[in-house]
Amino acid sequence: MARLNGLAWLEEEVAFDFLRTGEENINIVQSLATMIPQYVETTTGYPAALTAGQEPAELVKPLCLFLMQLWYNPDGTDARQLTRVIQSLEKAVRAYVVAERRQEPGE
């Protein structure tokens, strides 16, 4: 099983299953996976290196998967609901980042 470039913790087969697509779309899936860490960092402040790394925070994983699903099929029937879920997860990750930054000086 190969890992996706950009999201080292996500295996290709899992992404294909999640997106309900096959290996013929590997270039699209790889491109999406490569863009997600920078997007997550820009919108939430969660470091792109950690998003792409082996084990990001548990909130970041579903955010990445739902982003990939929305970007893969932006005109899908559930795009509106996915957008709401993504926005909620982005808020939660931002709150996580703020909480982590507050703990750093007191260590």
106 pLDDT exceeds 60?
no
Say which residues have a Cβ less than 8 Å from residue 71's Cβ, sequence separation at least 6.
Answer: 32, 35
pTM for the structure as a whole: 0.91
| Residue predicted with more confidence, 107 or 79 | 79
For the chain, the residue count is: 107
Highest mean pLDDT of the ranges 53-57, 72-76, 92-96: 92-96
- Helix axis angle, 79-103 relative to 60-72, nearest 10°? 150
Determine the 3-state secondary structure of 104 from DSSP. Answer: coil
Euclidean distance between CA atoms 2 and 16, whole angstroms: 12
Query: Under 8 Å CB-to-CB from 101, ≥6 apart: which residues?
Result: none
Q: What is the pLDDT of residue 54?
A: 82
